Structure 1
Amino acid sequence: MSSPAADVVRLLTVRGETLAVAESLTGGLVAAEITGVPGASKAFRGSVTAYATELKAQLLGVDAALLERRGAVDPQVAAQMAAGVRKALGADWGIATTGVAGPDEQDEQPVGTVFVAVEGPCGPDFGTVGGGKVSLLRLNGDRAEIRMESVRSVLALLLQQLASEQTENERAQDTEQNGGF
């Protein structure tokens, strides 16, 4: 039985695409999950753990005014983190996690509020959310459970986007082969 991380590595390797990870509440757990897969170096470019809010702006290009206004636990912040790590590390795909693992609320968000994001090559350029997706999670459990579910969720979101893009490409090829019909 394969894991979501193994599926990600396999799909990206077959496609000749790469991945970069931006993490906050998961603190490197997503990167550890991916690098635990044999052959991950064929697809994994690297990661940035921007735990401190100001590092999200400094290292990942997240809009500092957005961070000031909304805080780090925000869907736009997650989207910008994914786009920023993709650009900074020169990857085809960027994924990101930001949220509240506890024990206390943050940015007026309750414990268990998490945003996971994916930014991929189908967007017109690195800075847009057009090629990406953000999901809001409302998780229960202790700190460790929230963090591990965030890892599983961001990998599942990436797999969903990869599958969606694959289906769109297959439809386009089928249309071309049938004379545009």
Structure 2
Amino acid sequence: MFTGIIESTGEVINIIKEGSNQHFEIRSHLASELKVDQSVCHNGVCLTVTEVSGDTYRVTAIDETLKRSNLGTLVVGSKLNLERCMPAHGRFDGHIVQGHVDLTASCTQISEQEGSWLFDFTYETSNPEYLTVEKGSVTINGVSLTCFNSTENSFRVAIIPYTYEHTNFHQLKVGDQVNLEFDIIGKYISKIISRQNFH
């Protein structure tokens, strides 16, 4: 389990295609603290560390992951938001994040607001579980954020300077695709309600 509080960023230094899979070699100062078989969240996607060497490590994304997330658009030089699993004795500073991306969204507008930034996103889905709640939590590229101006297929988030500089939000442009993971509690509630309505 993750919390959506980004520890660091990593840079893609090599991409190796093998069948429908892609192996990503990533440089990060976290690499020296990682172990093989450890789970790390990459732009909100939970991937298993398969190799560690110095300041680099390797993870593999299968075809389903590449199709459901923005990992398939990565190139050498891309920056990733990184978070290791939450330790049992750690503080819960964000919200419950599984590292299972639901779908991608498109950035439609970026507005600077005297030192902070507003980002607008839209997405396409007919799944009632994939909705945001006004002032509720959503994970964008692994970052736990509070959304507002929520509609059926769009929402807005505000990014403070620290988050802007210490994640890959400062690289986002209008039209870019981001990974979304909706609040797991909201998804469970939606499923329970839909089943009650069905009966």
TM-score, length-normalised on structure 2? 0.31
Higher-RCO chain (CA-CA 8 Å, sequence separation at least 6)? 2
TM-score, length-normalised on structure 1? 0.33
Higher strand share: 2
